[in-house]
């Protein structure tokens, strides 16, 4: 099994209501100098087979990310 | 003098108006407490944190609201023995603020659930259940997405349990109190069960705990 | 760049493109051309439906605001006014069902807010392909999730609606959302801009590249290649919408606003041109002042459909106060321009004027087209011989109860908060929702309905049937119908018989509305719902509101006590176009509007006199399903006797006939019959009692235990989705 880390983020230019709300809250708590905040998901997968990154890419295309509004990146550590 | 209940309002609080109506139906006076204020309104006897989606439920339910300026004042009020009840999102805020044990997780149904529920009184020695006997059953609706309480029931004071543990709460917990009993949180909505026309008045029995 | 002329890429016809320089007296700038293309689209201009819509009754003693504003408003007595409107968000929901459905709810809620009203209820009328299709299951479940996400987060209860599944919606699903709101002490706010010198304030979310479809053609010529990947899906932000609701309520009640308008389709272009045209004034906007989420070209700012934004006209001396209220709710608010003398909408960017034209050209002067009216051939009556008569009628009955079109919709409505606000007296699952009017002894009842299969065979009859079914649903909860809103979902009106079906459906609806004395106060048209291979059924959805003078007098559909007498009001049904027959085509008897209205009036009178223990509309699945539904809701059985007809399954499952099932205490039957005029047929069916639904058809007896009915009814939808 190979450890694969998928990061799914809202696409640049797509509204991120969650990031916007957290940015506002950080400002209210007194953290100054915080610009844009964007919030995504980290998905850890254990994948068997020869091409774990390719598998993960297919999973992103079919399920893990919504290509209309989200980008994803795939990392295979080690 | 009638009891004055401060009803909190955060951005995204939804049940402020119905909570005010429920409080007034008990003969108490309701005043709005604004999230950005550092103090509770003068003359506050008890505090109600109503339900809703404060800050859009972003990050974690109740997390952002629990850090609002007014929450320090709520903490001082609770530490001094004042009564505090959190309903649904208000319960989530109290857990995030450390005023109640445990946390609320995603429902086992993996969906939002709006349904009338039967609750069993687990502890009749709290202000919130003083008009009820342990084992009594009351009917109050739930409406939440993240309403499964997770925690150590032995370390918490369980006040209400679901008869049908649909949401997957630890030990079927629907509501818990702090050790002293003056602070309680529950996922069901007693303010939605204070009028026979809407199907139940059992919520009044719980909210009567606001009135010392 | 493509060789196709820019106007065609934007969706304008050659004739329309030629008309624009004539009207302007010069060639339009590129941003102006984009604005025309959107404002002259069917969605914004109703250019194919406007002449037909004039057939609807739109006036009445209760009407405070008819069609043409963001929503209609009616007086419901006790000094209370209620705003209502239904709108479609079909295409966005087919592209991205979660965000499409969610932003559909957001849009209709802002229409209500823009009237100065506080939203108190939502309903959704949905159509999808059969759930045997994976794509339809995906579209359906994600649309429901999106509606729930938005409605639940903004704290407006979703109290009702309807859904049905038919493979003709496979490629073009329908998501129609209806919102109802209560006007505050500030009265009605309107969109008309007034008072040269007043400030124009944009507030709510920042502007981004959301929902920019056609305009991206132009933008790609103006922007770097690197920025070419532009998302057009609108992302919903219900948290900001809730803040907008609370903020607008405060602004409306304090009388801070001169005019208010939401930003929907065509964004700032539509909002500004309508505000200016309605007010007969000009507007001067500096696009450099619009708060942006990212760099945008002027044309993109003008047509962006970023959600959760509103546009207000404010007196200069109230500007500071208005912005302070927005800040208190953590909302951006920026004065982006002002009201001017004249009639021109002017937009500036980088100091240069990029748009300068009379607002009415965009808002009012789109060309209007007559649709071709090619009648479809009359349907051929269903040949009963093609439907095998079931050996076990009880099993067929249970199977019908489990069909997604008939089965319990609990799976849907439990995902919606239908209680928030603590005013929901009758919850989803009955004939109509009943919602208390806050601070009053009165309540309103709400329903959405459409007889789309009937509309396909006989659009005039189907139009009548859609309206009459809505009225029956209201009468069955004891509410007198007072106002309607409509959402006309059709395929391409320029092709085949669609234009005729559209015109006939509207005519049929208008006949029934006139007979009921129910005006249409708002509405929406959604055309071109078709793919290369399939067109939707004609789907004119009716949203109707009824009034109960006493909130505690509503009637439910649950059988009450054993011994109550069950009566059937109305005529016989047939299997043509029924759920049971599930075969396309057929021919239906004429819908006799005056007979059906008389039956509705009888049930209303009986409800008002407190005679009814229960009442239930007989609709999909016919008499057998209606009896079972009332039995399940009451947890008690019934025994009913009916005359045999052509076939027992037709007697049990036939639809139509304008029927309602009522129950009364035995002692009240004579009074009820005394209320019935000669035009209404009332039949004694039997008595409530026992633990089975028993139907005696002549010598034949069919029995379905209530618990077996419930098992099928509750299993149907979850099983179809598993």
Catalytic residue among B96, B146, B189, B194: B189
ipTM (interface pTM): 0.96
CA distances C419 to B143, B145, C281, Å, are: 8, 15, 43
Collapsed DSSP state (helix, strand, coil) of residue C332: strand
pLDDT tens digits along C593-622: 999 999 999 999 999 999 999 999 999 999
CB B113 within 8 A of CB B107: yes
CB C329 within 8 A of CB C323: no
Please enumerate in sequence order all residues whose Cβ is within 8 A of that of C261, keeping only pairs 6 or more positions apart, or say none.
Answer: C70, C114, C191, C271, C274, C275, C310, C311, C312
Name the residue ranges covered by the structural domains of chain B: 4-210
CB contact under 8 A, B18 and C425: no
Collect all residues of chain C within an 8 Å Cβ-Cβ radius of residue A21. 239
C537: DSSP letter: P
Average pLDDT of chain A, as a whole number: 90
Collect all residues of chain C within an 8 Å Cβ-Cβ radius of residue A67. none
CATH class of C390-414+555-722: alpha beta
**CATH number for region B4-210:** 3.40.50.880
Quote the minimal CA–CA distance from C691 to chain B in Å.
Answer: 24
Confidence at residue C232, expressed as pLDDT on a 0 to 100 scale: 72
Is pLDDT at C630 greater than 70 in this prediction? yes
Q: Which of A16, A27, A28, A37 to mutate to test the interface with B (most CBs of B within 10 A)?
A: A28
* Four-CA torsion C491, C496, C497, C501, nearest 10 degrees: 20
Confidence at residue A16, expressed as pLDDT on a 0 to 100 scale: 87
pLDDT level of residue C213 (50, 70, 90 thresholds): low
CB contact under 8 A, B114 and C237: no
Confidence at residue C555, expressed as pLDDT on a 0 to 100 scale: 98
Catalytic residue among B16, B77, B96, B191: B191
Alpha carbon distance C50, B34 (integer Å): 48
Cα C49 versus chain centre, distance: 17
Percent share of chain C, pLDDT over 90: 90
Least CB–CB distance from A21: residue in B36, B55, B68: B55
- Against chain C, the chains showing at least 3 CB pairs within 8 Å are A, B
Is pLDDT at C217 greater than 60 in this prediction? no
CB C683 within 8 A of CB C660: no
SS3 per-residue string spanning C546-604: EEECCHHHCCCCCCCCCCCEEEEECCCCECCCCCCCCCCCCCCCCCCHHHHHHHHHHHH
CB C17 within 8 A of CB C7: yes
For the beta sheet containing C565-569, the strands, ordered from the edge strand earlier in sequence to the opposite edge, are C612-617, C660-664, C565-569, C682-688, C638-642, C692-697, C700-705
Is pLDDT at C464 greater than 60 in this prediction? yes
Return the structure tokens found at C229. Answer: 């990947």
Pairing type for strands C638-642 and C692-697 reads parallel
Alpha carbon distance B94, B101 (integer Å): 9
Catalytic residue among C7, C43, C418, C616: C43
CB B146 within 8 A of CB B92: yes
CB contact under 8 A, A21 and B68: no
Name the residue ranges covered by the structural domains of chain C: 6-40+191-363, 390-414+555-722
Alpha carbon distance A18, C153 (integer Å): 13
Q: In chain C, which residue's Cα lies nearest the Cα of B110?
A: C415
Query: C6-40+191-363 belongs to which homologous superfamily?
Result: PurM-like C-terminal domain (3.90.650.10)
Is pLDDT at C312 greater than 80 in this prediction? yes
Please return the burial class of C430, using the count of CB atoms within 10 Å of its CB with bins 0-12, 13-18 and 19+.
buried
Active site (annotated) includes residue B191: yes
Collapsed DSSP state (helix, strand, coil) of residue C197: coil
pLDDT tens digits along C334-352: 999 999 999 999 999 999 9
Percent share of chain C, pLDDT over 70: 97
CATH number at residue A29: 3.30.1280.10
Quote the minimal CA–CA distance from C556 to chain B in Å.
Answer: 13
Please return the burial class of C598, using the count of CB atoms within 10 Å of its CB with bins 0-12, 13-18 and 19+.
buried
Return the structure tokens found at C189. Answer: 């706010």
Confidence at residue C223, expressed as pLDDT on a 0 to 100 scale: 40
CB contact under 8 A, C421 and B53: no
Quote the minimal CA–CA distance from C560 to chain B in Å.
Answer: 16
Least CB–CB distance from C237: residue in A13, A15, A24: A15
Same fold yes or no, C6-40+191-363 and C390-414+555-722: yes
Return the structure tokens found at C307. Answer: 């959600």
CA distances C351 to C334, C348, C354, C355, Å, are: 18, 6, 9, 12
CB contact under 8 A, A39 and B58: yes
B195: DSSP letter: B
Alpha carbon distance C276, C279 (integer Å): 5
Collapsed DSSP state (helix, strand, coil) of residue C199: strand
* CA gyration radius, chain B: 15
Is pLDDT at C225 greater than 80 in this prediction? no
Please enumerate in sequence order all residues whose Cβ is within 8 A of that of C382, keeping only pairs 6 or more positions apart, or say none.
Answer: C574, C575, C576, C581, C583, C585, C586, C587
**DSSP annotation string for C254-323:** TT-EEEEEE--TTHHHHHHHHHHHHHT-EEEEEGGGS-BSS---HHHHHH---SSEEEEEE-GGGHHHHH
Alpha carbon distance C233, C212 (integer Å): 8
Confidence at residue C220, expressed as pLDDT on a 0 to 100 scale: 42
CB contact under 8 A, C422 and B198: yes
Containing structural domain, residue A17: 2-75
Least CB–CB distance from C233: residue in A20, A24, A68: A68
Average pLDDT of chain C, as a whole number: 94
pLDDT tens digits along C237-268: 999 999 999 999 999 988 899 999 999 989 99
Alpha carbon distance C370, C502 (integer Å): 12
Please enumerate in sequence order all residues whose Cβ is within 8 A of that of C607, keeping only pairs 6 or more positions apart, or say none.
Answer: C475, C477, C478, C553, C555, C615
Listed residue (C194, C361, C207, C351) closest to C283, CA to CA: C194
SS3 per-residue string spanning C426-453: ECCCCCCEEEECCCCCCEEEEEEECCHH
Return the structure tokens found at C196. Answer: 């040269």
Q: In chain B, which residue's Cα lies nearest the Cα of C443?
A: B197
pLDDT tens digits along C535-594: 999 999 999 999 999 999 999 999 999 999 999 999 999 999 999 998 878 999 999 999
Collapsed DSSP state (helix, strand, coil) of residue C102: helix
CB contact under 8 A, A21 and B58: yes
Is pLDDT at C214 greater than 80 in this prediction? no
Least CB–CB distance from A22: residue in B36, B59, B68: B59
Confidence at residue C584, expressed as pLDDT on a 0 to 100 scale: 78
Place of tokens 């026979």: B196
Widest distance between CA atoms in chain B: 46
C209 touches chain A (CB under 8 A): yes
CA distances B79 to B40, B83, B87, Å, are: 14, 10, 19
Listed residue (C86, C123, C101) closest to C418, CA to CA: C123
Which residue positions in chain B have pLDDT lower than 70?
1
Collect all residues of chain C within an 8 Å Cβ-Cβ radius of residue A20. 237, 240
Q: What angle do CA C590, C465, C158 make, to 5 degrees?
A: 170
Average pLDDT of the segment spanning C44-65: 94
Active site (annotated) includes residue C89: yes
Sign of CA dihedral B82, B88, B94, B100: positive
pLDDT tens digits along C412-446: 999 999 999 999 999 999 999 999 998 899 999 99
pLDDT tens digits along C498-539: 999 999 999 999 999 999 999 999 999 999 999 999 999 999
Confidence at residue C2, expressed as pLDDT on a 0 to 100 scale: 60
Average pLDDT of the segment spanning A36-56: 94
pLDDT level of residue C226 (50, 70, 90 thresholds): very low
Collect all residues of chain C within an 8 Å Cβ-Cβ radius of residue B52. 155
Please enumerate in sequence order all residues whose Cβ is within 8 A of that of A39, keeping only pairs 6 or more positions apart, or say none.
Answer: A10, A16, A18, A19, A22, B58, B59
pLDDT level of residue C230 (50, 70, 90 thresholds): very low
- Against chain A, the chains showing at least 3 CB pairs within 8 Å are B, C
Listed residue (C654, C586, C580) closest to C403, CA to CA: C580
CA distances C552 to C467, C663, C671, Å, are: 26, 18, 22
Listed residue (C84, C281, C113) closest to C203, CA to CA: C113
b/e per residue C603-622 (b: at least 16 CB within 10 A): bbebbbeebbbbbbbbbbbb
Alpha carbon distance A31, C545 (integer Å): 50
Confidence at residue A13, expressed as pLDDT on a 0 to 100 scale: 79
Q: In chain C, which residue's Cα lies nearest the Cα of B55?
A: C239
Confidence at residue C227, expressed as pLDDT on a 0 to 100 scale: 43
CB C662 within 8 A of CB C612: yes
Collect all residues of chain B within an 8 Å Cβ-Cβ radius of residue C423. 198
pLDDT level of residue C210 (50, 70, 90 thresholds): confident
CB contact under 8 A, B56 and C417: no
Pairing type for strands B157-162 and B173-177 reads antiparallel
Collect all residues of chain B within an 8 Å Cβ-Cβ radius of residue A18. 56, 58-59
CA distances C660 to A22, C320, C609, C616, Å, are: 53, 57, 17, 6
Return the structure tokens found at C128. Answer: 């999808």
pLDDT level of residue C219 (50, 70, 90 thresholds): very low
CB atoms under 10 Å from CB of C26, counted, come to: 11
Confidence at residue C215, expressed as pLDDT on a 0 to 100 scale: 53
For the packed helices C134-154 and C97-114, what is the interaxial angle rounded to 10 degrees? Answer: 40
Collapsed DSSP state (helix, strand, coil) of residue C2: coil
CB contact under 8 A, A14 and C230: no
Quote the minimal CA–CA distance from C676 to chain B in Å.
Answer: 30
Total count of domains within chain A? 1
pLDDT tens digits along B125-142: 999 999 999 999 999 999
Alpha carbon distance C540, C493 (integer Å): 13
């Amino acid at each position: 099994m190979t450890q694969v880390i998928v990061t799914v983020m809202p696409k640049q230019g797509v509204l991120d209501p969650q990031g916007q709300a957290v940015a506002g809250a950080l400002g209210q708590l007194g953290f100054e100098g915080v610009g844009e905040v964007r919030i995504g998901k980290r998905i850890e997968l254990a994948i068997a087979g020869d091409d774990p990154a390719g598998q993960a890419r297919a999973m992103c295309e079919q399920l893990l990310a919504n290509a209309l509004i989200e980008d994803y990146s795939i990392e295979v550590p080690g | 003098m009638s009891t004055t209940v401060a009803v909190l309002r955060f951005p995204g609080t939804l049940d402020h108006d119905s909570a005010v109506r429920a409080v007034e139906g008990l003969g108490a006076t309701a005043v709005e407490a604004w999230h950005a204020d550092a103090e509770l309104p003068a003359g506050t006897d008890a505090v109600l944190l109503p339900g809703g989606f404060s800050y859009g439920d972003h990050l974690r339910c109740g997390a952002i609201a629990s850090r609002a300026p007014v929450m320090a004042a709520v903490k001082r009020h609770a530490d001094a023995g004042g009564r505090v009840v959190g309903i649904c999102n208000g319960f989530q805020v109290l857990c995030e603020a450390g005023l109640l044990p445990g946390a609320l997780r995603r429902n086992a149904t993996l969906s939002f659930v709006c349904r009338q529920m039967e609750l069993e009184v687990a502890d009749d020695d709290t202000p919130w259940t003083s008009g009820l006997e342990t084992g009594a059953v009351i009917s109050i609706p739930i409406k939440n997405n993240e309403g499964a309480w997770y925690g150590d029931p032995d370390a918490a004071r369980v006040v209400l349990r679901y008869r049908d543990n649909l949401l997957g709460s630890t030990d079927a917990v629907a509501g818990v109190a702090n050790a002293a009993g003056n602070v309680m949180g529950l996922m069901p909505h007693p303010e939605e069960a204070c009028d026979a026309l809407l199907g139940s008045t059992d919520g009044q029995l719980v909210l009567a705990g606001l009135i010392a | 760049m493509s060789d196709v002329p820019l106007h065609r890429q934007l969706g304008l016809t050659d004739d329309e493109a030629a008309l624009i320089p004539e009207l302007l007296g010069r060639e339009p700038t590129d941003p102006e051309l984009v604005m025309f293309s959107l404002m002259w689209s069917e969605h914004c201009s109703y250019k194919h439906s406007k002449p037909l819509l004039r057939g609807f009754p739109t006036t009445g003693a209760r009407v405070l605001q008819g069609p043409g504003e963001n929503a209609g408003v009616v007086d419901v007595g006790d000094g209370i006014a209620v705003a209502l409107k239904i709108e479609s968000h079909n295409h966005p929901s087919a592209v991205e069902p979660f965000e499409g459905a969610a932003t559909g709810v957001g849009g209709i809620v802002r229409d209500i807010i823009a009237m100065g009203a506080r939203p108190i209820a939502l309903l959704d009328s949905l159509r999808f392909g059969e759930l045997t299709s994976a794509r339809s299951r995906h579209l359906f479940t994600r649309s429901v999730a999106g509606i729930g996400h938005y409605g639940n987060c903004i704290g407006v209860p979703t109290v009702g609606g309807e859904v049905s599944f038919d493979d003709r919606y496979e490629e073009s699903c329908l998501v129609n959302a209806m919102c109802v709101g209560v006007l505050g002490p500030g009265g009605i706010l309107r969109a008309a801009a007034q008072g040269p010198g007043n400030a124009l304030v944009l507030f709510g979310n920042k502007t981004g590249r959301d929902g920019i479809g056609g305009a991206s053609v132009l933008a790609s010529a103006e922007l770097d290649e690197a920025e070419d990947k532009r998302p057009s899906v609108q992302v919903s932000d219900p948290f900001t919408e809730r803040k907008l609701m609370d903020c607008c309520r405060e602004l409306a009640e304090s009388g801070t606003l001169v005019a208010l308008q939401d930003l929907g389709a065509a964004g700032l272009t539509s909002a500004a041109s309508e505000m200016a045209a309605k007010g007969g004034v000009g507007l001067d906007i500096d696009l450099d002042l619009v708060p942006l989420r990212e760099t945008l070209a002027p044309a993109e700012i003008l047509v962006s459909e970023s959600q959760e934004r509103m546009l207000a006209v404010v007196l200069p001396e109230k500007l500071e106060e208005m912005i302070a209220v927005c800040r208190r709710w953590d909302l951006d608010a920026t004065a982006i321009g002002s009201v001017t003398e004249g009639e021109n909408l002017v937009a500036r960017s980088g100091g240069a004027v990029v748009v300068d034209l009379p607002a009415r050209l965009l808002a009012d002067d789109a060309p209007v087209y007559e649709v071709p009216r090619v009648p479809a051939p009359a349907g051929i009556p269903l040949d009963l011989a093609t439907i095998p008569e079931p050996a076990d009628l009880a099993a067929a009955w249970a199977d019908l109860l489990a069909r997604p079109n008939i089965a319990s919709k609990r799976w849907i409505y439990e995902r919606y908060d239908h209680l928030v606000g603590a005013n929901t007296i009758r919850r989803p699952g009955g004939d109509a929702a009943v919602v208390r009017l806050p601070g009053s002894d009165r309540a309103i009842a709400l329903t959405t309905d459409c007889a789309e299969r009937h509309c396909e065979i006989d659009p005039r009859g189907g139009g009548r049937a859609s309206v009459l079914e809505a009225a029956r649903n209201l009468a069955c909860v004891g509410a007198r119908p007072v106002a309607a809103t409509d959402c006309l979902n059709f395929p391409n009106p320029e092709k085949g018989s669609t234009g005729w079906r559209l015109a006939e459906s509207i005519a049929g609806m208008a006949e029934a509305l006139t007979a009921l004395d129910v005006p249409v106060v708002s509405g929406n048209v959604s055309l071109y719902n078709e793919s290369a291979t399939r067109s939707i059924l004609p789907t004119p959805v009716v949203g109707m509101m009824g009034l109960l003078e006493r909130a505690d007098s509503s009637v439910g559909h649950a059988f009450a006590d054993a011994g109550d007498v069950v009566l059937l009001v109305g005529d016989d049904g047939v299997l043509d176009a029924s759920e049971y027959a599930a075969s396309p085509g057929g021919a239906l008897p004429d819908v006799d509007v005056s007979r059906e209205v008389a039956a509705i009036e009888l049930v209303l009178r009986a409800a008002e006199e407190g005679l009814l223990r229960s009442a239930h509309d007989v609709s999909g699945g016919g008499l057998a399903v209606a009896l079972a539904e009332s039995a399940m809701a009451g947890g008690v059985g019934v025994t009913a006797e009916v005359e045999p007809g052509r076939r027992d399954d037709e007697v049990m499952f036939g639809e139509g006939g304008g029927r309602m099932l009522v129950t009364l205490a035995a002692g009240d039957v004579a009074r009820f019959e005394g209320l019935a005029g000669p035009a209404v047929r009332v039949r004694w069916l039997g008595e409530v009692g026992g633990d089975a639904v028993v139907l005696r058809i002549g010598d034949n007896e069919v029995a379905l235990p209530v618990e077996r009915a419930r098992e099928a009814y509750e299993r149907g939808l979850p099983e179809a989705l598993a």
